[in-house]
Amino acid sequence: MSDAVIIVTGGSGFIGSNLLDFLSDAEFAFGKTRIISIDKREPDFKLPNIEYVTADLSKPDFHYVGQKPEAVIHLAGYPWSKVKGDQGWLAEADDCFQNNTVATYNVLSKIRPNKIIFSSTANLYGEGRKLKEDAPKQISSPYGYSKWVAEEVIRKSGIEYIIFRFGTVVGKRGRTFPSRLVYSAIHNLPVDLFYKGEAYRDLISVDDICRALTSAFFFPKNSDLKWSDNTYNVSMGMEISGAILAETVAKKAKEYGYELTYKLADYAPNGFVKESTLSINKIHRQIGWEPQVKLDDLVDTLFKYYEEPDAKEPPTWESL
């Protein structure tokens, strides 16, 4: 009997590389499992028990000839952090739709997994706080539209699926603002807090994201739910302003012997969302998942990571 196969797309990225770390030590309900990573760029490092494939999922000539996978965890895509809203809608739309929508269609039509677990985004809700999964969509960017269309393609595919809409994901090798704050404290770099520190986010540890993504393999055994019409918000479930986050990082910085310098800026660049927080009642109620990593521990993890000599600098807003 062949081993089960799980494919992770985007395994060289921030979330993908952390997920591969997690999966390399996992024990699955369906027994011995091969983990295959597909990404269009080579990873910075390779794990010995992961199979790596370099391929661009968005290209017409992409093909897959391997064993039918039990599931694809589809993380590959063009990140929101690269869509700043200052280049014009059409200028930014091509990369978004090719890498987020067309690539998703190719995963479904050419890999044809038994199941797909898709990483979507809170960005398609637009502005709002404590938003539920059925909240009206207020999409304003090509990124949001590309993810929304990809969701619809998945729903129409006939393949069993789960869709996760993430809050602001934070962790080692990350690209989001908490990482920038910690890096700036260690390297004595000043930071501006947009909207005078009154922008609100809902954070989530990448480790908790990995737990959510993999919990999907087990809940068919633990619940009467089916792999259909399952869309869940995933976040810490705790609203936090830029100012409170900066204060938390500044306090932790002193414990490590650093000082964070920041100012409350009365502006925000194009494309910056002021308020984006999520309700996580549904995933807690239906799957039993809840975040385990607390804010203080998350910040502590970032300091330990960015003190490492090979830690990569997270981007500023201008360098995204």
Strands (E), the chain: 4-9, 33-39, 51-54, 71-74, 115-121, 128-131, 160-166, 168-170, 191-193, 200-205, 231-234, 239-241, 262-264, 275-278
Map out the domains of the chain as residue ranges. Answer: 4-173+203-236+279-292
Predicted TM-score (pTM) of the model is: 0.91
Amino acid at site 274? K
Query: Do residues 73 and 33 make contact, with C-beta atoms less than 8 angstroms apart?
Result: no
Query: Do residues 314 and 179 make contact, with C-beta atoms less than 8 angstroms apart?
Result: yes
- Position 25 scores a pLDDT of 76
For each of the chain's 320 residues, which pLDDT tens digit applies? 578 899 999 999 999 999 999 988 766 655 678 899 999 999 888 998 899 999 999 999 999 999 999 999 999 987 655 555 556 667 778 888 999 999 999 999 999 999 999 999 998 898 999 999 999 999 878 888 999 999 999 999 999 999 999 999 999 999 899 999 999 999 999 999 999 999 999 999 999 999 999 887 654 444 555 566 689 999 999 999 999 999 999 999 999 999 999 999 998 887 788 999 999 999 988 888 899 999 999 999 999 999 999 898 998 776 65
- Position 17 scores a pLDDT of 94
**CA 295 to mean position of chain CA atoms:** 17
- Position 218 scores a pLDDT of 58
**Sequence-separated (6 or more) residues with CB below 8 Å from residue 193:** 199, 242, 243, 246, 262, 263, 264, 265
- Position 87 scores a pLDDT of 60
Which pair of structure tokens corresponds to residue 155? 């729903």
CA 57, CA 298: separation in Å to the nearest integer? Answer: 32
Which pair of structure tokens corresponds to residue 259? 């000082």
For residue 235, CA distances in Å to 158, 193, 211, 243, 294 come to 28, 22, 12, 19, 11
Question: What is the domain class of 4-173+203-236+279-292 according to CATH?
Answer: alpha beta
